[in-house]
Chains A and B, each alone.
Chain A
Amino acid sequence: GNSVTQMEGPVTLSEEAFLTINCTYTATGYPSLFWYVQYPGEGLQLLLKATKADDKGSNKGFEATYRKETTSFHLEKGSVQVSDSAVYFCALSNAGNNRKLIWGLGTSLAVNP
């Protein structure tokens, strides 16, 4: 079946540090992959997405590349800010999954000044 595995948090970094949050998936066919972000007290919002292999999604300085050979979609940012403190969720969708998203458990990121 379909599943998403994210690295466990919490992740604590200093401002301007490099961020990687690992995400690997199991799926049949050709899923679309997403990173969502949830800021404190808010709902989830789409951060970036990739719909086919080798696509790179990017937004707000964050990037993730859809790697079919390693079934991964790791989130990276070269220099984090305090305002990036949030919970990050990796997710996949698959045509055979009746329009539902399969979610990772989320990774909490705290960035200290």
Chain B
Amino acid sequence: NAGVTQTPKFRVLKTGQSMTLLCAQDMNHEYMYWYRQDPGMGLRLIHYSVGEGTTAKGEVPDGYNVSRLKKQNFLLGLESAAPSQTSVYFCASSYPGSGYEQFFGPGTRLTVL
């Protein structure tokens, strides 16, 4: 099992460019999450999904969109990147009966110039 994987690991964008971050999990988990981590601010939830075809907003959804077309994949899109979106992005997944324990990917470090 690869667990939760994230693509790419690093990316540099210019302001206004767009990109998609891919999260994939091979554990058949129902729930998936996208977080951003910034110094001194802990983890902040961007969007999450409680099942294939469903998504919901988290604490900081502005400037991001997501899609969950397949159960194993959760995509995070930036339509027009801004320097404020420079961050480390983590994807996680969980399943019913786990007490909502979450399993994390290794992260994507994004820099927006």
A-to-B contact residues, CB < 8 Å: 32, 34, 36, 42-46, 49, 51, 89, 93, 98-101, 103-106
A32, B40: Cβ atoms closer than 8 Å: no
Q: Which residues of A contact B48 (CB under 8 A)?
A: 99-100
Q: Do A51 and B99 form a contact, CB below 8 Å, given A43-B107, A44-B104, A98-B50?
A: yes
The count of chain B contact residues (Cβ–Cβ below 8 Å) is: 24
- Report Cα–Cα, A103/B102, bound state, in Å: 12
Besides A32-B99, A98-B50, 13 new A-B residue pairs in contact (Cβ under 8 A), listed by A number? A44-B43, A44-B92, A46-B101, A46-B102, A93-B99, A93-B101, A100-B48, A100-B58, A101-B100, A103-B42, A103-B43, A105-B40, A106-B43
B105, A43: Cβ atoms closer than 8 Å: yes
Interface residues of B in 32-79 (CB under 8 A from A): 33, 40-43, 45, 48, 50, 56, 58
- Report Cα–Cα, A72/B26, bound state, in Å: 34
Q: Which residues of B contact A100 (CB under 8 A)?
A: 33, 45, 48, 58, 100
Q: Which residues of B contact A42 (CB under 8 A)?
A: 106-107
- Report Cα–Cα, A86/B57, bound state, in Å: 30
Q: Which residues of B contact A43 (CB under 8 A)?
A: 4, 90, 104-107
